Chain A
Amino acid sequence: MTTETINNDTSTKLQSNLKDAIEKKKFAITCEIGPPKGADDKEIRETGEILRGLADGINVTDLQSSVMRLGSLATCHILKEMGLDPIFQVTCRDRNRLALQSDLLSAHVMGIRNVLALTGDYTTTGDDPQSKPVFDLDSVQLLWAIKRLEEGYDMAGKELTVKPSFFKGAVVNPGADTEASYELQIAKMQKKIDQGAQFFQTQAVFDADVFERFMERISKMNMNVPVLIGIILLKSHKMANYMNKFVPGVFVPEPIIKKMEETEDKVPMCLEIAAELINKVKPICAGAHIQALGWESHVPSLIKKLGLS
């Protein structure tokens, strides 16, 4: 009886819009929802509606920047119920291996099929700097653990009644600024692929040359894995200066900062900058991951500019 149930369940094809889009070589678009700080689902549903039909997958951040807010799993569940395809971001900061594995099983029974495995920012970067950091696993080990769950075993080697399956993603930073950190990013990307990562989303990029060099390098190393370029919608020159100073691995070149500073009309300029970059790198990558950071309502115009749909 039990065996039959297991077989039936695993024979069904993994249902993921994102996976289909990438496999069909469609230029995939993923967007992002940062859950609100409160027991509130209204904003999530509104943003979900804006992104309907535009995004192949929607990332849901997991207490981004170590700031306490509504959870990623619950938000993914809401999006799933709305008929959208969420990407469950899982960091290693707040949960040990018991909780991580359990949440992954929970995600699967809720129909969530995309997972993005991350290390997570350190606790002191957020609004609860006194909290205890967990980091029982690192992002590579998390991918390894997911692979084991998919094979029907938990990390302790105990058999699962029904095995989950996921479309597994990871992140990489093409703009790491020292030789060591750049080489470590490349080596870590390979480790993540070895442990089952099927797609990558990058840290935000503003310089097409940086991204091109990165893509050339991984292609030389035969890392033939779909990469979605990370795009942040730049709202002002102040935001650019802030990111250059405080966000590791993000570098906004001076001409772009100038464009934002000089324009009277920030929104069209922001979208023009993003569209220009995406169109430039479109031939060399599998898609774009757009982080609108509150400007989700402008994503439809951006997509229109890209001429994708």
Chain B
Amino acid sequence: MILTEQKPIEEILEKLNGENKIFILNCGGCPEGADTGGIKVINYLKEELEKKGKKITGSVSIDFLCQKALLRSRLRTRKKEIEESDSILILSCGLGVQTSAAVISKICHPALNTITFGGITGMWQGTERCATCGDCVLDYTGGICPYTTCPKELLNLGCAGQSNGKCETDPERDCGWELIYNRLKSIGQLDKLKVFIPPRDHSKMLPSAKLRKTNLWALDEEVV
């Protein structure tokens, strides 16, 4: 199971600044097991967002967001609500946010930080990678992870080593920031390139023993 942790509500609200109609997308997989997703959390977020005058256009729970084909088919019925939304708030690991961003032409905000993979990466079958960095910045990068698409893990835009859209490390490899730029452009979010992202907190990549144990609860403990 992939272990996630909810981002502080202040951070979520800050990132939703200027966006008023929000659609909530919940992954019915790992977050429910980690208690960071599910109806309880959806309702909590709805309440907090509504307190700030935001409108929740709708919410849906899908098992699993990392399964792109399933995600795409399940979202078809929610097209109208999603279209009228300013952005999507996502309760899933980094993979779920990235796959959602790949199929939805809206800003996709992670509501969770991904702490660690428990040996299983859900139903993931795509090219996306999550580094379980514990400090998700996918809001700023059009749902494409700069840690895993850029070998230098650059947070504040790409380097001068790219050539014809390819990375200096491998002429076959797409430059991550080239992908991010094109995605942001396609969803009208190029302003995100102006945001300074402070150095990441690497200590978050070292989850506590307690959290690691939580990750294995299904093996370690009696369920009922």
Q: What residues of chain A have their CB less than 8 Å away from a CB belonging to chain B?
A: 92-93, 97, 119-122, 124-125, 133, 135-141, 144-145, 155, 171-173, 176-178, 180-181, 183-185, 187-188, 190-191, 194-195, 203, 248-249
Contact = CB atoms under 8 A, between A and B. Distances in A.
Contacts, number: 103
Interface of B: 151-165, 168-169, 175, 177-178, 181-182, 185, 190, 193-194, 196-199, 202
Contact of B178 (A125, A138, A181, A203): A181
Contacts of A139: 156, 159
A84 B133 CA distance: 44
A137 B199 contact: yes
A191 B161 contact: no
A173 B177 CA distance: 15
Given A97-B199, A136-B199, A248-B168, A122 B194 contact: no
A195 B177 contact: no
Given A133-B152, A141-B156, A191-B157, A181 B199 contact: no
Nearest to B151: A122
Contacts of A185: 160
A9 to B, nearest CB: 27
18 contacts: A97-B199, A138-B153, A138-B154, A140-B155, A144-B198, A144-B199, A180-B175, A180-B177, A181-B160, A181-B162, A183-B190, A184-B157, A184-B193, A187-B194, A188-B158, A191-B156, A191-B157, A191-B196
A191 B152 CA distance: 18
Contact of B160 (A144, A178, A194, A248): A248
Contact of A141 (B168, B181, B199): B199
Nearest to A183: B181
B193 A133 contact: no
A122 B160 contact: no
Nearest to B157: A188
B156 A188 contact: yes
A184 B193 CA distance: 8
Given A188-B156, A191-B156, A248-B163, 13 more contacts: A122-B152, A136-B199, A136-B202, A138-B152, A172-B160, A176-B162, A180-B181, A181-B158, A181-B178, A183-B193, A187-B157, A248-B162, A249-B163
